[in-house]
Amino acid sequence: MSSSASSSSSSPSRRKALFISSLIILWYSSNIGVILLNKFLLSNYGFSFPIFLTMCHMSACAILSYVSIVFLKIAPLQALKSRAQFLKIATLSIVFCASVVGGNISLRYLPVSFNQAVGATTPFFTAVFAYLMTLKREAWVTYVALVPVVAGVVIASGGEPSFHLFGFIMCISATAARAFKSVLQGVLLSSEGEKLNSMNLLLYMSPIAVLVLLPAALIMEPNVLDATISLGKEHKFMWMLLLVNSAMAYSANLSNFLVTKHTSPLTLQVLGNAKGAVAVVISILIFQNPVTVVGISGYTITVLGVVAYGETKRRFK
């Protein structure tokens, strides 16, 4: 009797563990997959249109967010309550666009491994913007932990054989914009009535992003449509790659939302740090870009700094 009771109680926990493991695998594969496919399309495939690529991602996010929330009920639909709330979301959407476009532009010039190393400095920019915008101070130990985060990227930059100044500037700008968006989101949508979960925020931000990116792509990438059509005729898998890449961009957001919902913040932080390292290893294996001991050492120092920052922030909260 007791053995059957224990086996029946362990069955739901086993199912939950399997479900969470599947979510983490989906999150990793979507995130890493979209980065690698972005790099492949922008650098190796001759599709040199980062703004148009971002617009494709946002279009997929707009359509699939609507389907997921309205029809599949993955998250409850949260209606906008005022014009002011809409304007706040529009502001967030523009900052979000800037961060994604900057990241995609940087992938044209930098290897994924270095791109991820620079991206790991997000906590540094988040702490800076949080202090400047909200005057929110952390414990001094927390700021000390950010020193290796920045120092690691400085070391990695010096040891990066494929270093490109413009690509580096775009990557740093994208990282800063991503941090700025997260702080701005906390400031703009701070009242309980205006808070949106990440899926509803994506539902409202994506169409605005498309409206911003479409004219930007047509003005700054004037031959994008002709080039895309000719590439599609030349490479029969071109449209499939673009479609899969755009769907992956949405899947990365969806899986991030679900992993956040079903795990603890600490687990999410640890998984996030590990994800960057996994992306670096896979990208080096696929693209065979040259790496140096100095570059890898710099990235390792940054990751250890991010881990230390997360731990001190948790302890001194």
Q: What does the pLDDT look like over 247-291, one tens digit per residue?
A: 999 999 999 899 888 887 667 778 888 899 999 999 999 999 999
Q: Is the pLDDT of residue 141 over 60?
A: yes
How much is the pLDDT for 134? 87
Q: Which residue has the higher pLDDT, 36 or 236?
A: 36
Q: Answer whether residue 170 is part of any domain.
A: yes
Q: What is the dihedral of CA 268, 269, 275, 281, to 10 degrees?
A: -150
**22 C-beta neighbours (distance < 10 Å), count:** 12
Specify the range with the lowest mean pLDDT, choosing from 25-34, 51-60, 99-108, 178-187: 178-187
pTM to 2 decimals? 0.89
CA distance 153 to 158: 9
CA distance 127 to 118: 16
Please list, in sequence order, all residues whose beta carbon lies within 8 angstroms of the beta carbon of residue 72, skipping any fewer than 6 positions away: none
Q: Answer whether residue 202 is part of any domain.
A: yes
DSSP per-residue string spanning 264-299:
-HHHHHHHHHHHHHHHHHHHHHHH-----HHHHHHH
Q: Answer whether residue 131 is part of any domain.
A: yes
Q: Answer whether residue 68 is part of any domain.
A: yes
How much is the pLDDT for 1? 47
Q: Is 153 within 8 Å of 302 (Cβ atoms)?
A: yes
Q: Report the domain count for the chain.
A: 1
Mean pLDDT of 176-192: 89
| Confidence at 95, pLDDT banded by 50, 70, 90 | very high
Encoding tokens for residue 184? 């701005």
Mean pLDDT of 130-144: 88
Q: Is the pLDDT of residue 195 over 60?
A: yes
| Confidence at 31, pLDDT banded by 50, 70, 90 | very high
SS3 77: coil
Q: Answer whether residue 158 is part of any domain.
A: yes
Q: Is 158 within 8 Å of 294 (Cβ atoms)?
A: yes
Q: How far is CA 240 from CA 15, 224, 244, 247, in A?
A: 34, 17, 6, 10
How much is the pLDDT for 220? 95
- Provide the domain limits for residue 307: 58-220+262-314
Q: Answer whether residue 239 is part of any domain.
A: no
How much is the pLDDT for 8? 53
Q: Is 289 within 8 Å of 113 (Cβ atoms)?
A: yes
Q: Is the pLDDT of residue 38 over 60?
A: yes
CA distance 96 to 46: 25
Q: Is the pLDDT of residue 5 over 90?
A: no
Q: Is the pLDDT of residue 2 over 80?
A: no
| Confidence at 73, pLDDT banded by 50, 70, 90 | very high
Q: Answer whether residue 29 is part of any domain.
A: no
Q: Which residue has the higher pLDDT, 96 or 6?
A: 96
- pLDDT cut 90: percent of the chain above it: 73
How much is the pLDDT for 128? 92
Q: Answer whether residue 171 is part of any domain.
A: yes
